[in-house]
Amino acid sequence: MIRTLRAAALAGAALAIGCYLWHGLTYEPSSVYEPAELAWLNGFLALPIIASSLVVTVFAFTGTGIGTALTGRNTGEFRDAPLGLGTVRSFAHTGVTLNDQPQIRIQFSVEGAQGERFDATAKSVVPLTELALLAPGVVLPVRYRPDRPGIVELDLSGNSAAAQQVMNESLIRKGFTTKEKVDIAARGIAAQAVVQSLTVPGEIRDGYSKVAVGLVVTRPDGSTFSTSSEKFLPPTAIGNVQVGRIVTAHYLPGNEKEVVLSIPVNA
């Protein structure tokens, strides 16, 4: 769609400029007293001016990140593209703004749906109120094209279930969790738990540290039980399992020994 709009704008501009040149080159003055400049300084001059403005407008509003900001949807070529996980490496202002909101160029390290890894860039208009949330290490769902992996778009589908599935599959591949634990998180009872103890065995996988957490879980009826849970966490999330913190835990009624903690990815 974007290519079609841009091609149509360029074709229209070429036609307008061609008409202007044809008129100027073939112009016949109506009188010997008529200035020669009128061959070019006439109503036809509006054609290339309007065409140039149209081309600039079309290219600006179909630029990367601008179209998605205006529509709130991914562009056609990315709308049904595979969903991956993008870890922010760096970001910078492009100098473009839309309604006083800056367009940001984001450098990602992306993990694809099948575990493939590649570097990519995205441009997105980010509201000023959300700009502080964008930082190196933040993980965001992105849409990517396998045939052109260097360019991605932030996922705007709002499909949190699909994003969670991609995250779960990534964690399983890395050995951070298991299918059984994912099932507990999906079907288990959500309860509040207090961190009673925290130990760090020292095992590290892909930059994530293994922690063993002692918990006191409160059942829906108000009674409690003690258990423990092991989890791999990024360094930025360790603070969420310090002793005394309240966390969300999931468990199955018939197996209270197996508890799964729910820690936000970008905690």
Tell whether 34 and 86 lie within a shared domain: no
What confidence tens digit (pLDDT) does each residue in 212-248 have?
Answer: 999 999 999 999 999 999 998 888 788 889 999 999 9
**Boundary residue ending a domain (61, 86, 105):** 61
For residue 72, being part of any structural domain is answered with no
CATH of the domain at 107: 2.40.50
Cβ burial of 24 (10 Å; 0-12, 13-18, 19+) is: middle
C-alpha span between 167 and 165 (Å, rounded)? 5
Tell whether 254 and 188 lie within a shared domain: yes
pLDDT at 193: 95
Tell whether 88 and 150 lie within a shared domain: yes
What confidence tens digit (pLDDT) does each residue in 105-132 have?
Answer: 999 999 998 899 999 999 888 888 888 7
Hey, what are 128's tokens? 């000023």
For the cut 80, the answer to whether the pLDDT of residue 6 exceeds it is no
Domain that holds residue 17: 2-61
pTM over 0.75: no
Element (H, E) at 190: strand 189-199
For residue 172, being part of any structural domain is answered with no
If you average pLDDT over residues 163-180, what whole number do you get? 90
Tell whether 148 and 186 lie within a shared domain: no
**How many domains is the chain partitioned into structurally?**
3
Hey, what are 42's tokens? 């006439």
Q: How many CB atoms within 10 Å of residue 5?
A: 14
